[in-house]
Amino acid sequence: MKEKTNKKVVGQNMKQWTRIKGENSWTMFKVIAELVEGFEKLNKIDPCVSIFGSARTKPDNKYYKLAVEMGQKLADEGFGVITGGGPGIMEAGNKGAKIAGVSSVGLNIDLPFEQGHNPYIDIDKVLNYRYFFVRKVMFVKYAQGFIVMPGGMGTMDELFEVLTLIQTEKITKVPVVLVGSDFWAGMKDWMKNVMYEEFGNISEKDLDLIPIVDTADDAVKIICDFYKGEDSGELAPNYDLE
């Protein structure tokens, strides 16, 4: 008697995938093109600080006004500004840099609610991206520090990408500053109480990577203090893709 089996053919209830052969190979050329363009343009800029924050922040919001001030304060210390090129906090950071006459860089990406770049980016420093991961390489590689203002999913993604790269020593350690205690304090408390103390998923020193401040002066001071006493007066990109 033939033995019955309940064994199913793998994937028999799954929809058939549609594959376009060769598509992935051509995608790699698009990725390489974006990397090359970014390296060629950003290799020429002065030291910069990347400012992250929400595209939804309106000009009458206190954090928009604070981001404008932040761009100007960074300029006073010789730093240009890199943002995601869109509206909101990004526009404000670029506006502050533009007013002060330093490098104002925008790494733009087309999104449903963000069409085109803001008007405060230097025309020769506008880069347009299809791929988020290439854009994040540029954010990190050419920044000497990061200022993170209130934002949404994208801001969280950018923040924790940077923290992971620093924690794993994939980039040179650089200052990261969270601006807005009313926004960030609860998250940091959760990281301390849950991630660190309850679950042990991070170390205590990881919490030191994200100081929280409320003023442009304090944020810029942390970045400047970080670089005091450096042996070399020259700053360099954070990492090489070897």
- Parent domain of 54: 47-227
How many other C-beta atoms can be found within 10 angstroms of the C-beta atom of residue 214?
14
Q: What does the pLDDT average to over 121-143?
A: 94
Cα 87 to Cα 95, 117, 178: the distances in Å are: 10, 7, 20
Instruction: Determine the length of the chain.
Output: 242
Residue 92: inside a domain: yes
Number of domains composing the chain: 1
Is 108:84 a contact under the CB 8 Å cutoff?
yes
What pLDDT is recorded for position 110? Answer: 76
Residue 148: inside a domain: yes
Residue 36: inside a domain: no
Is 59:34 a contact under the CB 8 Å cutoff?
no
Q: What is the CATH number of the domain that holds 141?
A: 3.40.50.450
Rounded distance, CA 195 to CA 207, Å? 10
- Higher-scoring residue by pLDDT: 60, 17: 60
Residue 232: inside a domain: no
Q: What is the mean pLDDT of the chain?
A: 89
Residue 136: inside a domain: yes
- Identify which of 50, 40, 27 has the alpha carbon closest to the alpha carbon of residue 219: 50
Task: Answer yes or no: is pLDDT of 227 > 60.
Answer: yes
Residue 82: inside a domain: yes
Task: Answer yes or no: is pLDDT of 3 > 60.
Answer: no
